[in-house]
Amino acid sequence: MRGRVALVTGGDRGIGRAISLKLASLGAKVAVGFRKNIDEAKKTVALIKDAGHEAEYFQADVSKYDEVKRMVDEARRSLGPITVLVNNAGLGISSPKITDLPLKYWQLQIDVNLTAPFVLSQLVVNDMINEGYGRIINLSSLSAFLGLEFTSGYVTTKAGIIGLTRALALDLASHGITVNAVAPGFVETEMIDGYFNMIDKWLGVKNSKEKYLKLIPTHRYVTPEEVAEVVAFLARPEAKAITGQVIIVDAGASLIPMRVLKSMS
């Protein structure tokens, strides 16, 4: 990965920070994308530089085309052609009843989770073609396969990105560009804390986050670093035979239905 430029959207915190640190540790120059938390972005870049690697932060709201274009241009000018794109920035907006979700929030999730990865792919693909190397890695979610209560907009976008992954993989295969998705189960970040807090409130339960763990066969949530390992593997030259695939990283959470059946026997 030495010398390759990797752009990680939402690279300032959560899973994106772990991905930025991992790619940098493999020698990539990392463009850490962020929207509003400049302090988090600075912290991620400082962690990378302290470890002796290269990174810079670049601001953009990925739902706004002009900002995304500016961010990509700045990153390219500063670090060089972008040959690894990690579409990590994402958001989920929950509502207790489907009638409660204003359409503007449905649209925002489409814009951030689905349209932005396509737009970013458009903006970097010529760099990849010119450099003869390209890796696009999209963050999907286990919820794309299993569904997830109160989050129809989020689940729809995370399923949609699997379609985008497969379609782009076909379109770009002849250029040596691979396109894959990673679908995590629940990962220990602020995103799931927010989700379980709402579940507690809306279902009138306590500690749903801890209770849910009992159902997961490994009794643990995934760590951001474990997701980052898989993303980094897909970004490496050695993964060139893998394209159009979705890799689930869920600590066994997708085995829950079998586990429930087992507990009935």
HEC secondary structure over 47-107: HHHHCCCCEEEEECCCCCHHHHHHHHHHHHHHHCCEEEEEECCCCCCCCCCHHHCCHHHHH
Minimum CB separation of residue 37 from ligand NAP in Å reads 5
Q: Shortest gap between Cβ of 81 and ligand NAP (angstroms)?
A: 22
Q: Which is nearer to ligand NAP, 161 or 177 (CB)?
A: 161
Stretch that binds ligand NAP, among 85-93, 122-130, 168-176, 202-210 (CB under 6 A): 85-93
Minimum Å gap between C-beta 113 and ligand NAP is 6
User: Which listed residue (6, 192, 231, 234) binds ligand NAP by CB under 6 A?
Assistant: 192
Residue 258 C-beta: closest distance to ligand NAP, Å: 21
Check residue 63 for interaction with ligand NAP (CB under 6 A): yes
Angstrom distance (rounded) from CA 255 to CA 66: 42
Q: Is 23 in the site for ligand NAP (CB under 6 A)?
A: no
Which of residues 7, 32, 62, 71 is near ligand NAP by CB under 6 A?
62
Of 133 and 186, the one with the shorter C-beta distance to ligand NAP is 186
Kindly state the smallest distance separating residue 91's Cβ from ligand NAP, in Å: 4
Q: Does position 89 bind ligand NAP by CB under 6 A? A: yes
Residue 181 touches ligand NAP, criterion: CB under 6 A = no
Dihedral through CA 88, CA 144, CA 243, CA 121, nearest 10?
-40
Is residue 57 annotated as part of the catalytic site, yes or no? no
Among 1, 5, 8, 13, binds ligand NAP (CB under 6 A): 13
Q: Which of 1, 44, 57, 90 binds ligand NAP (CB under 6 A)?
A: 90
Residue ranges in contact with ligand NAP by CB under 6 A: 9-10, 12-16, 34-37, 61-63, 88-91, 112, 139, 141, 184, 186-187, 189-192
- The residues that are catalytic are 154
